[in-house]
Amino acid sequence: MFSCVQSIGLFGMQTYPVAVETALENGLPRIDIVGLPDAAVSESRDRVRAAMKNSGFLFPNARVTINLSPADKRKEGPMYDLPIFISVLKASGQLSAETKDCAFVGELSLSGKVRKVNGILPMVIDAKERGLKAIYIPFDNAAESCIITGIDIYPVLTCKDLVRHLKGEKLIRKADRKQFPAFEPQNPEVLDFADVKGQFQVKRALEIAAAGGHNTLMIGPPGSGKSMLAKRIPTILPDMTPQESLDTTKIYSIAGVLSNHHSLVLSRPFRAPHHSISPAGLSGGGQIPKPGELSLAHHGVLFLDELPEFPRQTMETLRQPMEDGCITIARVSGSITYPCDVMLVCAMNPCPCGFYGHPTKKCTCPPHAPAKYLAKVSGPLLDRLDIHIEVPQVEFDKLSDDQPGESSAKIKARVNAARKIQQQRLAGSGISCNAKMTASQTRTFCRIDESGKKLLERSFDQLGLSARAYDKILRVARTIADLEGSENIATCHLAEAVQYRALDRKFWK
Ligand SMILES: Nc1ncnc2c1ncn2[C@@H]1O[C@H](COP(=O)(O)OP(=O)(O)OP(=O)(O)O)[C@@H](O)[C@H]1O
Ligand SMILES: [Mg+2]
Ligand SMILES: [Zn+2]
C-alpha cells in the first residue's frame, strides 16, 4: 500500500517542494525514513508513532518505508512530522480524504499536539506560488502566515482535529488576519528625542542618517548621551514599505523570533548586540545557518555601542555584507545567503579614559593609548561610515532647561517626506534610499555645479579623502537636499556633507 503527501522544505531563505511517500510491505514491523534526513527528521518515527497511538489511531503493524523526495537534498528539522503522520494514515487505509492540492507542515508532540516550527511564512508563500489550494500549519504559526492571501491556511491544534477536518466531520477555521496585531520588535518603552537636551547638531546628523539610511559613527566623552541618542533612533526611522515588511518578517519567521500572537513586522528593527557577540552570532551560524544579528536588522538599524570593544574579527565580518546588502555563509551542506540591508550606527569614546580631544578636561591615558584605542576601528570599516559626528558634553544651562526639545514625531514626519522623494526617484531599481545607490546611480542623481566641484576639490586636498568617501559625500548631500525638498544639490548641502567626513581627521590623524 502506498501514499504520497506534499510538504515544503527550507534551506536558508530558499524553499522547495518535498513529497512524503509511504509504502507498507509485509514483513517484520519496522520504520525506515530515507531521503537524507537529519537527526530531527529521523526521530520523527518515534514522535509520529506515539502521536498516532495517543490520538486513537493504529500504527501499521508492517514494514513501513518513508521517503522524503527529492532524495538528494538534506532535510532538517521536525516540520515533516505532520506530513509523515498523514501519509502513514493514508497508506494504512485509516484516511481516504483527497489531499492532492494541499501541503502539511508541523512538528508533533507525543500526545498528538501540533507544535510551532520556524520559517512558516516563506513556506506558505511557496505553497501559494505553486498553486496549492490549502496548507495545514501549526496553530501557533497562524499569526505570521495569515498575511498571505490566495491560499487557504488552516491552523491545526492537534492531529485528531486535522483528521476530523479532512474527513469532513468538524471543520477547522481558516486563519484570519483580523485576529492578530502587527509585531513590534522594539521594546515598548516610550522613548522620544524630546528627552535629549541640546545636541542639536547630533540630532540633525541622525535625522539625515535616518532619512537616507546612512551608516553613522558617534564619538564623544562618557555620559555625553551617545547611547541615549542611539536608543531613540527607532522613533524617527521612516515607515516600512509593504515589501520591506514582508522581507523582514520572512527572516524573523526563519529565525523563529516572531511571537505566537503577532503577524507582520511593521516597524524597522533595531538590533543592539553586545560586544561579546561572536562573528557567527553577527553573521549567522549553526550547522544549517540561521540568520544572525546582521540579518535580523534587515531594513532597520544595527547598533554597535562601544565599537572598539568588539573584537577585530567580528568587526571585519561586517565589511563585505555592508557593501553587498547580503551575507553568504558557506557550509558543507551548501551555501546560504541571507539579506542584510542595514543602517549601521556605531558609538565610541575617543580613548580608554574617554576625554581625548576634550576642550577642557585632560585625557589621563598613557601617551600611545588613544592612538592604539582608535586603531581598533580599522580604516576600511571607518570608510564605510558615511556620517561621523562628535557628541560633545552638553552644557549645564542646556541640561537644566525645562523646555522639551523637538519631538520624535516631528522629526519622523520630515524623514518620511525625504524618504518618499528617494523612493520615487529610485522606483524600479530595487533600492529605496540614497545610501544604497550604486556608483552609476550616484553619478546620475547627484549632479553638482561648478562651485560645488570647487568646494569638493578643496576639501579633498585638505582631508585626503578616498574614492569611496567621494561617493558617500555626494549621497549624504543628496539626502540633505531631499530633506529640504530641493531638486538640486546646492553648495551648502555639499558643505554640510563634507563636514560629516571631517571628524576622522581629528582623531584618526
Ligand atoms: N543631552 C542630554 N540630555 C539629557 N540627558 C542626558 C543628555 N546626555 C546625557 N544625559 C544623561 O546621561 C546619561 C548617560 O548618557 P549615555 O549613557 O547616553 O552616555 P554615553 O555617551 O553613551 O556614555 P558612555 O561613553 O559612557 O557610554 C543618560 O542616561 C541621560 O540620563
Ligand atoms: Mg554609552
Ligand atoms: Zn584618555
Per residue in 330-339, pLDDT tens? 877 778 899 9
Q: How far is the CA of 222 from the centre of ligand 2 (A)?
A: 7
366: pLDDT confidence band, cut at 50, 70 and 90?
very high
Residue-level pLDDT at 214: 96
Q: Ligand 3 mean position to 16 CA, how many Å? A: 56
What tens digit of pLDDT does each residue of 217-246 get?
Answer: 999 999 999 999 999 999 999 999 989 999
Most confident stretch, 170-184, 191-205, 412-426: 412-426
* pLDDT for 263 beyond 90: no
Top-confidence range, 94-108, 171-185, 285-299: 94-108
Q: Is 253 exposed, middle or buried (0-12, 13-18, 19+ CB in 10 A)?
A: buried
In this prediction, residue 260 carries a pLDDT of: 74
For residue 221, which ligand has an atom nearest its CA? 1
Is 266 or 24 the better-scoring residue by pLDDT? 24
pTM summary value: 0.89
> Which ligand is nearest to the Cα of residue 355, counting in written order?
3
pLDDT surpasses 90 at 185: no
Q: Which residue is closest in CA terms to ligand 1's atom 18? A: 225
Calculate how far, in angstroms, residue 360's C-alpha sits from the geometric centre of ligand 3: 13
Q: For ligand 1, is residue 393 a contact (CB within 6 Å)?
A: no
Selection from 268, 343, 278 nearest residue 310 by Cα = 278
Among 102-106, 130-134, 178-182, 376-380, the range scoring the smallest mean pLDDT is 178-182
SS3 state at 96 = coil
Q: Is 307 in the pocket of ligand 1 (CB under 6 A)?
A: no
Residue whose CA lies nearest to ligand 1 atom number 25: 222
Most confident residue range from 28-42, 110-124, 310-324, 453-467: 110-124
| pLDDT tens-place string over residues 36-61 | 888 877 888 899 999 999 999 999 99
Q: Is the CB of residue 44 less than 8 Å from the CB of residue 13?
A: no
How far is the C-alpha of 120 from the C-alpha of 102, rounded, in Å? 15
Residue nearest to atom 26 of ligand 1 (CA): 222
In this prediction, residue 183 carries a pLDDT of 62
| Phi and psi at residue 69, to the nearest 5° | -110, 145
Domains of the chain: 2-179 (3.30.230.10), 193-507 (3.40.50.300)
Q: 468-478, pLDDT tens digit by residue?
A: 788 899 999 99
Q: How far is CA 291 from CA 78, 249, 251, in A?
A: 19, 12, 7
Give residue 356 CA to ligand 3 midpoint distance, Å: 5
Q: Tell me, what's the pLDDT at 67?
A: 93
Q: What is the pLDDT of residues 153-166, one digit of tens each?
A: 999 999 999 999 99
Tell which one of 197, 199, 200, 227 to mutate to probe ligand 1, the residue whose CB is within 8 A of the most ligand atoms: 227
Distance between Cα 274 and ligand 2 center (Å): 12
How far does Cα 31 stand from its chain's mean position?
40
Is 196 a pocket residue for ligand 1 (Cβ < 6 Å)?
Answer: yes
List all residues 6 or more positions away from 249 whose beta carbon is below 8 Å from its beta carbon: 121, 144, 147, 183, 258, 263, 264, 265
Helix (H) or strand (E) holding 266: none
For the cut 70, the answer to whether the pLDDT of residue 188 exceeds it is no
| Distance (Å) from CA 413 to ligand 2 centroid | 27
225 C-beta closer than 6 A to ligand 1 = yes
User: What is the number of other CB atoms lying within 10 angstroms of the CB of residue 233?
Assistant: 23
Q: Which of 8-12, 132-136, 505-509 has the lowest mean pLDDT?
A: 505-509
Q: Does ligand 1 lie within 6 Å of residue 223's CB atom?
A: yes
Residue 401, pLDDT above cutoff 80: no
191 lines ligand 1 (CB under 6 A): no
Burial class (CB in 10 A: 0-12, 13-18, 19+), 439: exposed
